[in-house]
Amino acid sequence: MKTIKVATFLLALFILSFCLVSKACVDNNNNSEDNTYLNLSVVESTQVEQDLLIASLRYDVESESPKLVQDKINQTMKKVLAIAEKKSMLDISTERYSVYKYSKQVKDKSNIKEIWKGSQTVVIKGKATEDILVLSGELQEMGLVMNDLHYELSVEKYEETRASMTEKAVNKLLFQAKKMADIIGAKKIKILNISIEGDNRSQEPQQALMRSAAINSSETITSPVSSPGKTDVKLTIFGSVSLKD
Residue ranges covered by each domain of the chain: 33-51+153-245, 52-152
**Reported confidence tier of residue 100, pLDDT bands at 50, 70, 90:** very high
- DSSP one-letter code for 142: T
Pairwise CA distance, residues 80 & 134, whole Å: 13
Other CB atoms within 10 Å distance of the CB of residue 11: 10
Q: Could you tell me how many residues make up the chain?
A: 245
Pairwise CA distance, residues 140 & 225, whole Å: 13
pLDDT above 70: residue 116: yes
Pick from 242, 155, 229, 164: nearest CA to 199? 155
The answer to whether residues 98 and 92 touch, using CB atoms and an 8 Å cutoff, is no
Other CB atoms within 10 Å distance of the CB of residue 175: 12
Pick from 6, 127, 113, 118: nearest CA to 71? 118
Q: What is the pTM of this model?
A: 0.70
Please report the pLDDT score of residue 8 as a whole number: 52
Give the SS3 label for residue 156. Answer: helix
Pairwise CA distance, residues 132 & 231, whole Å: 21
pLDDT above 60: residue 188: yes
- Look at domain 33-51+153-245 and name its CATH class: alpha beta
Other CB atoms within 10 Å distance of the CB of residue 171: 11
pLDDT above 50: residue 11: no
pLDDT above 80: residue 19: no
pLDDT above 60: residue 148: yes
- Crossing angle for the helix pair 66-84 and 129-141, nearest 10 degrees? 150
Which DSSP string do the residues of 1-21 spell out, in sequence order? -HHHHHHHHHHHHHHHHHHHH
Pairwise CA distance, residues 216 & 62, whole Å: 26
The answer to whether residues 100 and 114 touch, using CB atoms and an 8 Å cutoff, is no
- Among 4-18, 121-135, 152-166, the minimum mean pLDDT is found in 4-18
- DSSP one-letter code for 109: S
How large is the average pLDDT for residues 159-169? 92
- For the chain, percent of residues with pLDDT exceeding 90: 55
How large is the average pLDDT for residues 156-181? 92
Please report the pLDDT score of residue 110 as a whole number: 66
Per-residue buried b or exposed e for 227-236, using 16+ beta carbons within 10 Å of the residue's own CB: ebbebebebe
CATH for the stretch 52-152: 3.30.70
Please report the pLDDT score of residue 230 as a whole number: 92
Q: Which residues contact 94 (CB under 8 A, 6 or more apart)?
A: 77, 81, 120, 121, 122, 123
pLDDT above 60: residue 20: no
- For the chain, percent of residues with pLDDT exceeding 70: 75
Angle at 80 between CA 64 and CA 215, to 5 degrees: 80
Q: What is the pLDDT of residues 191-221, one digit of tens each?
A: 899 898 866 565 555 455 444 333 333 456 7
Backbone φ and ψ for 209, nearest 5 degrees, come out as -75, 110
Please report the pLDDT score of residue 199 as a whole number: 63
